[in-house]
Structure 1
Amino acid sequence: MLPGGRAPSFFDLPGAGAELLGSRTWGVPGAAVRTGRKDWAMTEQPRRPVATYATYQEAERAVDHLSDQGFPVERVAVIGQDVRLVEQVVGRMNYGRAALHGAASGALPGALIGWLFGLLDWVDPLVSALLVALYGLIFGAIVGALFGLLLYALQGGRRDFASVRSMEPGRYDVVVDEAVADEAVRLLGGLRTSGVGGRPAPS
């Protein structure tokens, strides 16, 4: 028993768990963490946006440009701002399409499960796996089609369309540690004038 009547735990073993050094807290600049294998400093530098881009590809190209110029890219982050939900309608939903979507979603898991069960045959595992995977694909497609039809029937015609949802930021900010932000602005200045589409980040 430990002082206070507490039973020993894993974290009481030498070198186990993590221990904060000093009076600083986790995530605060300058906090250090000790583990059983090594010590390191966890620093959180203040960051400043240096450029804003309309697409992720442009922001990605900007970071790649900084890397090509020898800039310490580990001090760079790309942050998506003004995130919105976009639901793209891809077609009308009916019983045939519902069955087709259900069959497609059930075929792959069925084939994978069949392949795994087929590998248990020690005589000829490859042939058995392929054969059982084929059976699993067919069975999964049938079960998936039935579930697709059932779910569509339960909706009672309230959602007669198929759609794909995605989260899309309105812009992408390239942010850099304050200590090297001026250098990043200088390096990205030439890239912006080359028609990449970036603009200075709002202050």
Structure 2
Amino acid sequence: MSLSSPSGRRSPMSPLQLEFPQSLATYDDYAAAQKSVDFLSDQEFPVENCLIVGTDLKRIEKITGRLTYSRVALGGVASGAWLGLFVGLLFTIFTEESAFATIASTMLFGAAFGIVWALLGYAATRGQRDFQSVTQVVATRYEVLVEHKVAAEAREILTRLPGALPNPFA
């Protein structure tokens, strides 16, 4: 797992790599993997020799609501107004005019721009995606890897983890 340059010389390792990693334990959730590394740290184990690797990735998409022209328009107004507020605040630095008038006018222009842009974008989809959602990529398993030269020490320490399985290394 070390990097080599085309000339054959070794280049510096990435901080996200171990030279000769060995599996220490596998967990079903990140919190359990983190707990084991934290326990190793509490026992003054050199945790810079550890990696937590999420494997078996899956994408989760939670549907948060139905999209309609009115919801899209409302979202466009809101995001455009925020952009207008930001631009208005910047303009107040460089103008002698009333700060309120500058901010209000840029927010109105931003809201108008936002609603038009959002509705055009939504209309372009032609009903292909009439819902809102949030997505996240998550791992289904987490493996703690450790550098080979300290693997035995890590295994011995991890057997003393309160609530640990009798053999978490299987």
Considering the TM-score relative to the shorter chain, is it more than 0.5?
yes
For residue 11 of structure 2, the aligned residue among 26, 29, 33 is 26
* 2:117 maps to 1:147: yes
Q: Could you tell me how far apart the structure 1 residues matched to 2:145 and 2:61 are? A: 29
Kept after mapping to 2: 8 A contact 1:84/1:168: yes
SS at match of 2:128: coil
Task: Find the counterpart in structure 2 of residue 103 from structure 1.
Answer: 77
How far 1:137 moved relative to its partner?
A: 4.2
How far 1:135 moved relative to its partner?
A: 4.6
For residue 94 of structure 2, the aligned residue among 120, 145, 160 is 120
Q: Could you tell me how far apart the structure 1 residues matched to 2:46 and 2:55 are? A: 23
How far 1:59 moved relative to its partner?
A: 2.0
Task: Find the counterpart in structure 1 of residue 168 from structure 2.
Answer: 200
How far 1:134 moved relative to its partner?
A: 5.3
State the one-letter code of the partner of 2:134.
V
Cα distance 1:44–1:194, how it changes in 2: closer, same or farther (>3 A)?
A: closer
Cα distance 1:118–1:163, how it changes in 2: closer, same or farther (>3 A)?
A: same
How far 1:89 moved relative to its partner?
A: 0.9
* 2:20 maps to 1:46: yes
Kept after mapping to 2: 8 A contact 1:88/1:164: yes
Kept after mapping to 1: 8 A contact 2:18/2:49: no
Q: Could you tell me how far apart the structure 1 residues matched to 2:101 and 2:46 are? A: 53
For residue 57 of structure 1, the aligned residue among 31, 54, 58 is 31
Task: Find the counterpart in structure 2 of residue 183 from structure 1.
Answer: 153
Deviations 1:115-136 (A, max 9, x none): 2232234x79xx84x7745554
Q: Could you tell me how far apart the structure 2 residues matched to 1:183 and 1:131 are? A: 68
How far 1:162 moved relative to its partner?
A: 0.8
Higher RCO (Cα < 8 Å, 6 or more apart): 2
Structure 1 stretches of 4+ moved >6 Å: none
Cα distance 1:49–1:159, how it changes in 2: closer, same or farther (>3 A)?
A: same
Cα distance 1:170–1:136, how it changes in 2: closer, same or farther (>3 A)?
A: farther
Deviations 1:58-95 (A, max 9, x none): 22222222222111111111111011122111111111
Q: Could you tell me how far apart the structure 2 residues matched to 1:52 and 1:190 are? A: 16
Task: Find the counterpart in structure 1 of residue 40 from structure 2.
Answer: 66
- How many residue pairs align between the two structures? 161
| TM-score (normalised: structure 1) | 0.65
Please give the root-mean-square deviation of Cα atoms over the aligned residues, in Å: 3.1
